[in-house]
């Protein structure tokens, strides 16, 4: 039996610059509830100094700016994504082309540190220690992910695609060894925050829905790291089949239940 491998974190996080415009267009972002928590629990307000890890195309970055974040420093290890991000946010954000593990961060310089659907690409304990050092006493960390499906419920479309993924590498965000996926494994995520010295840790989940037509769902899957890791010819074959299944077996429309998992915690004063 073939055993699927798992993408290397440092290599995998450099896949998303392949087509930033498509990523930005087809990913639906994150629900308003996340930003309400950042405001009401984490104290995000105009003038808050914010550090963002792995901003990608800037979907969360732009919302943070709308809520008054500033200065906002974004750590993006992929030069192609950094260029795209600068084109969208201009001089409002300091974009640093570095992974969190390698970045030079001023100690105790930020009020809030955030990561939107990116922290599974970071070495967790080392990354959290770096965020704690970069936060001011009383500062907050907020990590969240939006999953394209609810692993606790049946998903007809994902089930229909299972044969296509038998030899496709796994993302480090996915479930394995009988445990939930990275984002929904609250026991381990909260333990990691505690090990890093954070307090008042909390986990919240928000369920919502989004739909794509057949072409749109093809473009969506083209932004997933396991697909991006394939050789170009194989990638196109898989994407063609995903679109065909959406058209012929789902009447050209795929609606998914999305689940956003949010973790917040405070650096002791």
Structure tokens at 61: 């970055």
Tell me whether strands 110-116 and 253-266 are parallel, antiparallel or unpaired. unpaired
- Judge whether 53 lies within some domain: yes
Predicted confidence at residue 5, as pLDDT, reads 78
Strand pairing partners for 260? 146, 206
* Dihedral sign from CA coordinates of 218, 220, 226, 229: positive
E-strand ranges in 83-198 read 94-96, 110-116, 135-148
The whole-angstrom separation of Cα 144 and Cα 41 is: 14
Range of the domain at 186: 9-153+177-208+259-266
Tell me whether strands 72-75 and 94-96 are parallel, antiparallel or unpaired. parallel
- Judge whether 126 lies within some domain: yes
Predicted confidence at residue 4, as pLDDT, reads 60
End-to-end alpha-carbon separation of the chain, Å?
53
- Judge whether 170 lies within some domain: no
- Judge whether 220 lies within some domain: no
- Judge whether 90 lies within some domain: yes
- Judge whether 197 lies within some domain: yes
- Judge whether 3 lies within some domain: no
In terms of Cβ atoms closer than 10 Å to its own Cβ (0-12, 13-18, 19+), residue 106 is exposed
CB 168 within 8 Å of CB 4: yes
Give the helix, strand, coil percentages of the chain, each rounded to 5: 45, 25, 35
The region that residue 85 occupies, defined by phi over 0 for left and psi between -120 and 50 for alpha, beta otherwise, is: alpha
Mean pLDDT of each 10-residue bin along the chain, 269 residues long: 66 84 95 98 98 97 97 96 96 96 96 97 96 98 94 90 89 82 95 98 97 97 94 96 98 96 97
Count up the domains in the chain and report the number: 1
Residue 119: give its domain's CATH number.
3.40.50.150
DSSP 8-state code for residue 167: T
The whole-angstrom separation of Cα 165 and Cα 146 is: 20
Strand pairing partners for 145? 261
- Judge whether 28 lies within some domain: yes
pTM, rounded to two decimals: 0.94
């Amino acid at each position: 039996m073939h055993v699927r491998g798992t993408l290397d974190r440092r290599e995998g996080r450099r896949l998303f610059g392949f087509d930033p415009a498509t990523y930005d267009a087809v990913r639906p972002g994150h629900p308003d509830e996340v930003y309400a928590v950042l405001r009401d629990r984490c104290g995000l307000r105009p003038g808050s100094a914010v550090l963002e890890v792995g901003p990608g195309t800037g979907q969360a970055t732009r919302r943070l700016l709308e809520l008054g974040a500033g200065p906002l420093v974004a750590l993006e290890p992929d030069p192609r994504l950094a260029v795209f991000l600068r084109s969208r946010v201009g001089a409002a954000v300091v974009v640093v082309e570095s992974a969190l593990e390698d970045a030079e961060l001023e100690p105790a310089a930020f009020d809030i540190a955030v990561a939107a659907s990116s922290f599974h690409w970071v070495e967790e304990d080392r990354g959290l220690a770096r965020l704690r050092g970069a936060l001011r006493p009383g500062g907050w960390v907020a990590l969240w992910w939006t999953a394209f499906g609810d692993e606790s419920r049946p998903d007809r479309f994902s089930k229909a695609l299972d044969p296509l993924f038998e030899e496709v590498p796994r993302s480090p965000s996915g479930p394995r060894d009988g445990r939930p996926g990275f984002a929904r494994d609250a026991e381990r995520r909260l333990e990691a925050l505690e090990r890093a010295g954070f307090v008042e840790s909390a986990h919240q989940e928000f369920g919502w829905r989004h739909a794509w037509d057949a072409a749109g769902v093809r473009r969506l899957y083209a932004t997933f790291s396991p697909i991006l890791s394939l050789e170009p010819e194989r990638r196109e074959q898989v994407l063609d089949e995903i679109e065909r299944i959406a058209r012929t077996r789902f009447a050209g429309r795929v609606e998914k239940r999305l689940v956003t998992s949010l973790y917040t915690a405070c650096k002791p004063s």
